[in-house]
Structure 1
Amino acid sequence: MLDSTTKRKLELNDQAGITLSKSFQSFVVEVGGYDNLPFDERSCRNYISEARRLRLGDGDAEALSNYFCRMQSRNSNFFYVLDLDGESRIKNVFWADARSRATYYYFSDVITFDTTYLTNSYDMPFAPFVGVNHHGQSILLGCGLLSSENTESFIWLFKSWLTCMLGRAPKAIITDQCRAMAIAIAIEEVFPNSQHRLCLWHIMKKIPAKLGSHSQYKMIKKQLKTIVYNSLTVDECDENNWQKMIKEFNLDNNIWLTSLHEERNKWMPIYVKDKFWAGMSKSQRSESMNAFFDDYVHSKTSLKQFVEQYDNALKSKIENEKKIGFHFFQFNHARNNWLSY
């Protein structure tokens, strides 16, 4: 019988890409031998297999099926794909409506990908692909529901999305630092020619949680922001200011800062300024999309209700895009008339 602590360790290790056999061996070493374990490797394997499936409630699978059938009957270009386990149970889901597929053709330069939304509420990450249109609006370019945030799931999702978009990879992709390793591996395999950047806003948002307990927190925060936003050259940023900050505040053992420094070429403005990011380098496109869906779903919303409300949310967003497009047309028309006088 697996207790809650063991289950949690198994899931964390699985998400980190650690094989089940290695996880099981760590339990064996921890208790001093196989005879001291109240469970075997098969029990661990069965649990992980179960944990990797979407947490579907009553009516959820039927609601998904009905929604996909309804959307395809309306437009044959609606795309969806299901990832099933060996017993034909749903593990992961991806879908994109016809409008998202058509829109991507024109706005495929930069996308953001974020799995932090709804994770706690549903215990299954909602993974939207978000772009930006010519009016600066966030646009939904497909989304998935994942049973696990591991490399295997991300590779499956990215390949599904790439197939949906007829093999047209984005020129650049911005992701959250969470699950950075698993996502980075998946991006390298599926989008090898796309520029990958970590969301600066996500990183800076974590400063209070990562450094707030330090006695000189306010000074560290001020100096870190100065380094990130005001550095004019790579040498100034790295060798001079960053290293000086680490030594001055004795931060050599801070794991978070060390990891950021190792990946500095993926998030610091001075390192990525020579690439095109469609105005999304410092913005939180996924957050604005998440806030949009917050008007339709909440922590108590079931997956069945979510699928139904998703359609309503999408219709509302399309209507809003049309209004902004109409106002933009009116403005240009009035300006051109004024200039003609």
Structure 2
Amino acid sequence: MAKVMKSTMKETRHRWCRWHVLKNAKDRLGKVYSKHKRFKHEFNKLVTDETDITKFERTWDTLVKKYRLSKNKFLKRLFKYREKWAKPYFMGIFCAGMTSTQRSESANHMLKRFIQRATPMHLFVAKFNEFQSDRNDQESKESFVTNQVPRKLRVGVPIENHADTIYTRAMYEKFYDELFESGRFAIT
């Protein structure tokens, strides 16, 4: 894909999926994940939140040293290609908020837990319908609970009022966290 994009879409930057980067890190660094409970949190925070190149590289270096991963081939390769996936290297590029193939990949991951790869088509359809029904039930329960418990608005800005009317409580909490974090920035 990257080769074709270079020749046909010269102004486009090919980006690696953050979801895959994190999943592969978990798979390839399993011992570190299980042995050092803070590593996963620190690594995910770095990959997800850091927007400054210098801070990203400094924190990466600190993590590698702290957890004695300087010889890890996977991390060496990941760092070598950081401009393809790390957030600070995409700050000036419009990506429409997409950092990964998260929707299709996370749905694919959930389906794999319910449906075996070699499942015959008629069983796949039955299991998929069961899965879809379960998801719909969960959504309905969340909507019901959302409508039963009134929320106290915390900031009092119009966008918060609007979010309160359209989001479930779980999505509203995610929205509120973003709204709260946005208070750190000066808009010019």
The TM-score with structure 2 as length reference comes to: 0.52
Distance 1:232 1:190, change over 3 A: closer
Cα–Cα, structure 1 residues 247 and 189, in superposed 2: closer, same or farther, change >3 Å? same
Whole-Å separation in 2 of the counterparts to 1:200 and 1:253: 23
Q: 1:288 to 1:230 in 2, by over 3 A?
A: closer
Are 2:24 and 1:206 aligned?
Answer: yes
> Structure 1 261/220 Cα, relative in aligned 2: closer, same or farther at 3 Å?
same
The answer to whether the Cα contact below 8 Å between 2:18 and 2:85 also exists between their aligned partners in 1 is: yes
Relative to structure 1, is the Cα distance of residues 193 and 252 closer, same or farther in structure 2, using a 3 angstrom cutoff?
same
* Conservation of the 8 A alpha-carbon contact between 1:211 and 1:217: no
Task: Identify, as 1 or 2, the structure richer in strand.
Answer: 1
Mark the runs of 5 or more structure 1 residues left unpaired by the alignment. Answer: 1-182, 310-341
Give the C-alpha shift of residue 209 in structure 1: 1.3
**1:55-83 deviation per Cα after TM superposition (whole angstroms, max 9, x unaligned):** xxxxxxxxxxxxxxxxxxxxxxxxxxxxx
Change (3 A) 1:258 1:283: same
Match of 2:96 in 1: 278
2:40 & 2:106 partners in 1: Cα distance?
25
Q: Pick the structure with greater CA Rg.
A: 1
Q: 1:188 to 1:301 in 2, by over 3 A?
A: farther
SS state of the match for residue 65, structure 2? helix
Equivalences for 1:21-170 in 2 at 5 Å? none
Partner Cα distance (1:261, 1:288) in 2: 24
Once residues 41 and 110 of structure 2 are traced to their aligned partners in structure 1, the CA distance between those partners, rounded to angstroms, is 32
Q: Tell me which moved more, 286-295 or 215-224.
A: 286-295
Matched, 1:217 2:36: yes
Paired letter, 1:201: W
Return closer, same or farther for 1:288/1:206 CA change in 2, 3 Å cut-off: closer
Over 3 Å counting, the alpha-carbon distance change for 1:275 and 1:250 in structure 2 is same
TM-score, normalisation: structure 1: 0.30
- Partners of 2:3 and 2:81 lie apart in 1 by 14
Cα 1:221–1:271 shift into 2, 3 Å: same
Give me the whole-angstrom Cα distance separating, in 1, the residues matched to 2:51 and 2:10: 29
The share of aligned pairs that are identical, in percent, is 28
After TM superposition, list the pairs within 5 Å mapping 1:290-309 onto structure 2: 290=108, 299-301=118-120
Q: Please, which of 24, 47, 52 is the counterpart of residue 233 of structure 1?
A: 52
Checking the alignment, whether the CA contact within 8 Å between 1:196 and 1:266 is kept in structure 2 is yes
SS state at 2:94 partner: coil
Q: Do 2:46 and 2:59's aligned partners in 1 also have CA atoms closer than 8 Å? A: yes
Number of aligned positions between the proteins: 121
Unaligned runs of 5+ in 2: 126-188
Q: Distance in 1 between matches of 2:103 and 2:15?
A: 14
What's the CA shift for 1:275?
A: 1.4
Q: 1:244: how far off?
A: 1.1
Counterpart secondary structure, 1:197: coil
Whether the 8 Å CA contact 2:47–2:86 is kept in 1: the answer is yes
Indicate the RMSD between aligned Cα atoms, in angstroms.
3.3
Structure number with higher relative contact order (C-alpha < 8 Å, ≥ 6 residues apart): 2
Task: Give 1:234 deviation, angstroms.
Answer: 0.8
**Deviating 4+ runs (over 4 angstroms):** 288-295
Note the alpha carbon deviations across 1:98-144, whole angstroms, 9 max, x for none.
xxxxxxxxxxxxxxxxxxxxxxxxxxxxxxxxxxxxxxxxxxxxxxx
